[in-house]
Structure 1
Amino acid sequence: MAIAWALRPRRWALWLLLLVSCARAFYIPGYSIKSYRDEEPIPLLVNKIFSDHTQLQYAYFDLPFVCPPSGEKHGGSPFGSGQSVSLNLGEVLRGDRIMTSDFELLMGKDVQCQALCTQEVGRQDVKRARQLIKQGYVAEWIADNLPGATSFVTVDRSRKYYATGFKLGYQDFSPADGKPRYFINNHFTIVIRWRKAPGKAGDDGGKAVVGFEVYPKSIAASEHESKGCPKNPHDDHLGLELNLPFDMAKLREKYPSSSYIPEEDDDLDDGATLKIPYTYSVFFQEENNVEWSNRWDLYFSNQEEGSMTHWLAILNSLTISGVLGVTVLVIWSRTVQGDIKGRGDGAMEDGKLKRSSRTKLPNKEGLLDQSAADVERDGDLSSDDEAGEDMTGWKLLHGDVFRVPAYSGLLAPLVGSGMQLLFMAAGLLLLSCLGVLNPSFRGGFVSVGMGLFVFAGLFSGYFSGRLYKTFGGVNWRKNTIITALFFPGLTFCLVFILNLFVWAQASSTAIPFGTLVGLLALWLLIQVPLVYVGSWFGFVRATAWEHPTKTNSIPRQIPPQPWYLRDTYGAVLTGLVPFAVLFIELLFVFKNLWQDKSGYYYVFGFLSVVCTILIVTVSEVTIIATYSQLCAENYHWWWHSFLTGGSSAFWVFAYCIWYHFFKLHVTGFVSSLFFFSYSFLACAVYGLLTGTVGFLTAYAFVRRMYRYVDLKKPYPPTYLPFLALEPLLTSTVRSKWTDVD
């Protein structure tokens, strides 16, 4: 026995070493360095083209005017050019279409000029190229997992930064007639920046890529020599204009009776073609000022310049959130002290309120007589004929505050779906702040988010099932089906319908049919069973949430409500406060999503802080709104708290509309439809998430508040500010009720 105990620490040591060895084998994207030896091939992959002026993207090799893949193998690769690279779910959904190319890059070997191909295009292809250049499309290539970039320097030339992609061409104007002319970039100067690889690989001669730059240029076909390359590609040359004049002789032969003189953009086919020679140069430059771990920093220079604005956003959020608390504390310091000293006007025994006198209850027709008021009061508050003191405000609702709300069968699934989204959002922010989700993990944010959403079906089913049980529901399987199919089903239908429009444009933004089938299988075969398991635990195994007071059989009559406490007006107005917390950070999120689609949002630390303050603000606003409603003797707080929490989504969508018309300048019906559809979906997700936060906060607050409805017991300090609002709100409601009568 003693020997066994002596060997146990060694066993634990062996297990620890095994875990360490496994940890070394674990790959976190962005932290595994790829080193290259001299003349070792560096694969260059082509991806897609995109524009800031439209939401439609296209695969690079789908363009009719670029060099098609030859299918040849380069650098010992087992795959020929044109081979599709396996993509994760996030890459497919963001429109990536990555393929191998015919470019040959050998580490450390400069190439002055290398002919790629000469592409012969017709009139329709020329027209297509002109249209894409006019819309500002840029191409994205990838080398060593770095996107090819166009480099820029600041005005004072003190800093350098990258913009992902390079332009397909450029637009100029004719000096003679002022008409626009379009030139295509057909020569590419590729600059690979490298440094000695860290660690043992660097000692063995390995080099790490720390920069990938592409400098496009337009060179006329007449400037090229017989071998396909211009004499000196880096000198000034005439540009290759996308201009294909009509052959009038052929048109006269084809249309002998026509005297029409065609324009450049006409669709007449006269068989004319334009030859576009493509060439490239490769240069390697040593760069010791950039560490491999910091090689993405140049892509984020513009975002770092806005760090002051991020801090202002956080300061704005803290100010708004703090004002809510300070305002309540100021009211409490002036009024609540006297309210506490005068307490003792009632007590609870077994969920029934004792009263010492009977008071009249007004209704919409007028004041009831004394005996009728006594009967209604006794029926509402207690079956006993005991005496008690006069009660006002939220204390009168102790027998109705937990009455099951209308459409509770819909509220429970919505809250469950909100918890699912809340878990997904928290997981994404946490992994992003830890650096697991970084730009080198292309498409990782969407892929991991989809995985977290599917796994969070357990939470969705649990909270939905338990809340459904609390509402007194019995058919939990029906509730499970609604929870599992309602929100994901509506989302899938919207995406599918929108995808039909994008498919018609032959855009890579369209989700492939196979991916749609995979998403459908992921939803029905994995998420739905997880929701079922969670719902079974929430309804069958877990107990319903207990309420501190009993519900009367006869509901109370609700007095007329002030306009600011009505569901529509109140919810819309209260949504302004959370929106004010969020709107500054929305500038950066929208710019990244809709304008700089090649950029990478990388300030998740700021975003996490703003989101945390947002959740606190939503909780504060919902508690204050719920307490105001209860003081107005309105016990329909269930849906009101949910709408109050999610009402800021209305203002976010209004901001999307403003952003579309004044910032984006997007052209085309499909692009606008794409923008508004996905904006609506994002706002629905945001509203569902914040609405769930508001509902759960209000539910916890109301349950805890009515635990202390026995006024002889001291209130916790956290509830004193809300008690301060009661005399003000109650007097307002009573005065309005008297005016109505």
Structure 2
Amino acid sequence: MRWSSISPPSLAVLLLLRTASAFYLPGVAPTDYNQGDPVSLNVNRLTPAVIASTQQVESLISYDYYHEYFHFCLPKGGPEKISESLGSILFGDRILTSPFELKMAQNETCKLLCTQTHDSRSAKFTNMRIWQGYNLNWLIDGLPAATLTSAVGDESTQFYSQGFALGSLTGGDGDKFRQPVLNNHYDIIVDYHRIPGRKEKPFRVVGVVVQPSSKKPKVSGDKKIADCTVAGDPVQLSESGNTEVTYTYSVIWMESPTAWATRWDKYLHVFDPRIHWFSLVNSAIIVIFLTGMVSMVLLKTLRKDIARYNQLDLNEDVQEDSGWKLVHGDVFRPPMNPMLLSIFLGSGAQIFFMTGITIMFALLGFLSPSGRGSLATAMIILYTLLGFVGGYTSARVYKSFGGESWKKNILFTPIFIPGVVFGTFFFLNFFLIWKGSSGAVPLWTMIALICIWFVISLPLSFTGSWFGFRAPAIEAPVRTNQIPRQIPEQALYLKPLPSMLLVGILPFGAIFVELYFIMSSIWFHRVYYMFGFLFVCYGIMIITCSTVTILMIYFLLCSENYHWHWRAFFISGASAFYVVLNAFIYWLSKLSLGGLASNVLYLGYSLLIGFLFFILTGTIGFFSSWYFVKKIYASIKID
């Protein structure tokens, strides 16, 4: 079915329904074949890969397989789009049918696809993509066509790297002497597994490797038969004239003992697992150290302080005492801009639960790599459904702060943070449209996102806000004085900027190794699946954010500074500064992006990720501190 025949409203509905099938359990739905049955080969976008000589990526722009300048062979009747999940579309996948004909367990040798003519303009475009190391991406029975790669320093360990080269550089050692050549012949090696004892449809596809090469096959006869054995020089596209290119392919079927349930194992290669274990051990030590410090410094000190304070005669002059006890009449004074803080906290709670549930589903295997885009789809749907949590949290906090503009709170909570995210995403999408990239999100997908936002998320948030305002306000354990207390001069490390930089680095230190692998999977187009490590790192990050913020807020209160609300949010959220700084260093060291669009895209998405991380970690730090402050002031006797 062609998408062009679907009306826009129907497309939006289909996109919503398609998300329901994104949760895929590995091993549930294999496709079985008889010998000679057709096996589908679909094509996906072309993506930039790591250049071997520099170990850097030079572009972030992906292109449709059937882009007019590539001149790849078209199937009869034209390519048709394969239905995709919402997350797959947002991440740039554009899966289409192809003219390749594969039949189960039947080898083919030098089969002719077509002959195409590249003019000078398309030659310049294609040669530039070869210089930038672009990969072709195919899907055979849902498996990505891969290149067989050896682990660095261990030639015996081989794994599949998704995609294969559009072309290669040949001629000399320096760039000045090298020339791009186009790969126009593909040796497709398909591993299949025969199910023992089964007679009907006993074959399953369990592996796909493509070995591309550049040849000039001899085409003879009226039947257009190609002979690859007499291939001459590699194909070089002329940038000053027309070049005829003949595309051919061979298919080799190989029986494999690999079971269908484990066919993704070779794709899911762990790059140096010792780094992950070192990261976990390092993060665990940080957590143990911080937890121990909080236990020793706070619990021991607080018990003595509370016991000594409660033994005082309250009719006597208690001003001889000092520290956090003296600000009990001001510590629960509403913060400045309670509306904005409550909106941040509502959205932060929504992101917190969305992230945790998504990681849990992925850890349990519900979000398999074979379900393309299922992870992103799950995040969108969970964030939408958790609008109730965001609305309830924002309303309850705002009411506890004594806020009265409840209508503004109800309206702005589901609009402000999602509006910033969607606005940034919409702005960056223009750069993809400008470059003619396949990553540009189609108009009707944008409309579908807006429908999800306004038709599902907003009503859920409004409902949560209604319940939040009806619930009783969170009462302070002590009364608030009418006249604010004067705050004495603060030590340097307790001032806003030094305290943020000092504390924010600790949560970042707990996750930076895993963050490196996540960024590599995003920008280098690798499969990320180490959700066990991610789950542990997420838990460690939560504990670290909580403990370091509580410790700093305790020091702040001891210095008789009761403005802790925003400080708790910013202290914990300051780890986002290091996330953005890390992205900037990654940009300088691992990427060599040419052109305005790629640089704007990278920096724009990095800042957006940093902003969301700021909201998430700031929320964790605030609620931890709020619980701590309520607990300690509920323990002292106040007349």
TM-score (norm 1): 0.78
Aligned match of 1:206? 202
Render the CA deviation track for 1:164-191: whole Å, top value 9, x for unaligned. 1111111112699963311111111111
Q: Which amino acid aligns with 2:234?
A: G
Specify which of 216, 227, 243 is matched with residue 238 of structure 2: 243
> Superposed, which structure 2 residues align to 1:108-123 within 5 Å?
108-123=105-120
Q: Is the 8 A contact 1:48 1:139 kept in 2?
A: yes
Aligned match of 1:88? 85
Matched, 1:403 2:327: no
Distance in 1 separating the partners of 2:604 and 2:75? 39
Aligned match of 2:10? none
Matched, 1:417 2:347: yes
Render the CA deviation track for 1:67-115: whole Å, top value 9, x for unaligned. 342335xxxxxxxx50101111111111111011111011011111211
Specify which of 258, 264, 267 is matched with residue 299 of structure 1: 267
Distance in 2 separating the partners of 1:230 and 1:140? 25
Distance in 2 separating the partners of 1:151 and 1:340? 66
Q: Which amino acid aligns with 1:101?
A: S
Deviation of 1:30 (Å):
5.2
Distance change (3 Å), C-alpha of 1:426 and 1:336:
closer
Q: Which amino acid aligns with 1:274?
A: T
Specify which of 457, 460, 463 is matched with residue 390 of structure 2: 460
Distance change (3 Å), C-alpha of 1:345 and 1:531:
same
Aligned match of 2:609? 682
Specify which of 562, 576, 589 is matched with residue 662 of structure 1: 589
Aligned match of 1:231? 227
Specify which of 282, 288, 312 is matched with residue 278 of structure 2: 312
Q: Which amino acid aligns with 2:182?
A: I
Q: Is the 8 A contact 1:187 1:218 kept in 2?
A: yes
Q: Which amino acid aligns with 1:543?
A: P
Distance in 2 separating the partners of 1:342 and 1:149? 70
Q: Which amino acid aligns with 1:296?
A: W
Distance in 2 separating the partners of 1:339 and 1:28? 55
Distance in 2 separating the partners of 1:341 and 1:70? 82
Distance change (3 Å), C-alpha of 1:548 and 1:126:
same
Render the CA deviation track for 1:258-277: whole Å, top value 9, x for unaligned. xxxxxxxxxxxxxx421100
Q: Which amino acid aligns with 2:484?
A: P
Q: Is the 8 A contact 1:355 1:389 kept in 2?
A: no
Q: Is the 8 A contact 1:346 1:710 kept in 2?
A: no
Distance in 1 separating the partners of 2:300 and 2:615? 37
Distance change (3 Å), C-alpha of 1:308 and 1:336:
same
Q: Which amino acid aligns with 2:205?
A: V
> Superposed, which structure 2 residues align to 1:534-613 within 5 Å?
534-540=464-470, 542-594=471-523, 596-597=524-525, 599-613=526-540
Render the CA deviation track for 1:153-209: whole Å, top value 9, x for unaligned. 3565423211111111111126999633111111111111001237x8x44342111
Distance in 1 separating the partners of 2:451 and 2:305? 60
Aligned match of 1:287? 256
Specify which of 622, 632, 636 is matched with residue 705 of structure 1: 632
Aligned match of 1:56? 61
Of the structure 1 ranges 600-609 and 570-579, higher mean CA displacement relative to structure 2 is found in: 570-579
Distance in 1 separating the partners of 2:92 and 2:31? 26
Deviation of 1:675 (Å):
0.5
Deviation of 1:589 (Å):
1.3
Distance change (3 Å), C-alpha of 1:296 and 1:675:
same
Deviation of 1:231 (Å):
2.9
Q: Which amino acid aligns with 1:242?
A: L
Distance in 2 separating the partners of 1:445 and 1:156? 32
Q: Secondary structure at the match of 1:508?
A: coil
> Superposed, which structure 2 residues align to 1:90-109 within 5 Å?
90-109=87-106
Aligned match of 2:444? 514
Distance change (3 Å), C-alpha of 1:506 and 1:178:
closer
Aligned match of 1:142? 139
Specify which of 217, 223, 226 is matched with residue 213 of structure 2: 217
Distance in 2 separating the partners of 1:175 and 1:695? 57
Matched, 1:356 2:316: yes
Aligned match of 1:69? 74
Aligned match of 1:734? none
Distance in 1 separating the partners of 2:25 and 2:265? 18
Q: Is the 8 A contact 2:186 2:250 kept in 1?
A: yes
Q: Which amino acid aligns with 1:440?
A: S
Distance in 1 separating the partners of 2:420 and 2:578? 22
Deviation of 1:330 (Å):
5.3
Q: Is the 8 A contact 1:228 1:277 kept in 2?
A: no
Q: Is the 8 A contact 2:276 2:533 kept in 1?
A: yes
Q: Which amino acid aligns with 1:307?
A: P
Render the CA deviation track for 1:617-655: whole Å, top value 9, x for unaligned. 100001001111111111100000011111100011011
Aligned match of 1:44? 41
Q: Which amino acid aligns with 1:121?
A: H
Deviation of 1:138 (Å):
0.4
Matched, 1:346 2:273: no
Unaligned runs of 5+ in 2: 1-22, 50-56
RMSD: 2.3
Render the CA deviation track for 1:301-339: whole Å, top value 9, x for unaligned. 2x2x42211111110101111112333455579977876
Distance in 2 separating the partners of 1:627 and 1:355? 27
Render the CA deviation track for 1:238-285: whole Å, top value 9, x for unaligned. 2111125x5xxxxxxxxxxxxxxxxxxxxxxxxx42110001111111
Render the CA deviation track for 1:698-735: whole Å, top value 9, x for unaligned. 011111111101399xxxxxxxxxxxxxxxxxxxxxxx
Q: Which amino acid aligns with 1:420?
A: Q
Of the structure 1 ranges 145-154 and 438-447, higher mean CA displacement relative to structure 2 is found in: 145-154
Q: Identity of aligned pairs, percent?
A: 36
> Superposed, which structure 2 residues align to 1:322-337 within 5 Å?
322-329=288-295, 331=297
Distance in 1 separating the partners of 2:174 and 2:475? 83
Specify which of 525, 530, 553 is matched with residue 626 of structure 1: 553
Deviation of 1:525 (Å):
1.8
Of the structure 1 ranges 388-397 and 50-59, higher mean CA displacement relative to structure 2 is found in: 388-397
Distance in 2 separating the partners of 1:206 and 1:621? 58
Specify which of 178, 183, 186 is matched with residue 184 of structure 2: 186
Q: Is the 8 A contact 1:228 1:279 kept in 2?
A: no
Distance in 2 separating the partners of 1:457 and 1:463? 10
Distance change (3 Å), C-alpha of 1:578 and 1:543:
same
Q: Secondary structure at the match of 1:59?
A: coil
TM-score (norm 2): 0.91
Aligned match of 1:28? 25
Q: Is the 8 A contact 2:391 2:463 kept in 1?
A: yes
Q: Secondary structure at the match of 1:489?
A: helix
Of the structure 1 ranges 123-132 and 578-587, higher mean CA displacement relative to structure 2 is found in: 578-587
Deviation of 1:237 (Å):
4.0
Aligned match of 1:500? 430
Deviation of 1:446 (Å):
0.5
Q: Secondary structure at the match of 2:439?
A: coil
Distance change (3 Å), C-alpha of 1:333 and 1:56:
closer
* Structure ID, larger Rg: 1
Q: Is the 8 A contact 1:42 1:107 kept in 2?
A: yes
Distance change (3 Å), C-alpha of 1:214 and 1:481:
same
Q: Is the 8 A contact 1:402 1:547 kept in 2?
A: yes
Deviation of 1:344 (Å):
4.0
Distance in 1 separating the partners of 2:446 and 2:576? 28
Q: Secondary structure at the match of 1:159?
A: strand
Distance change (3 Å), C-alpha of 1:145 and 1:66:
same
Deviation of 1:665 (Å):
1.9
Deviation of 1:236 (Å):
6.7
Matched, 1:321 2:248: no
Aligned match of 1:385? none
> Superposed, which structure 2 residues align to 1:372-411 within 5 Å?
388=318, 390-411=320-341
Distance in 2 separating the partners of 1:427 and 1:600? 20
Distance in 1 separating the partners of 2:175 and 2:272? 43
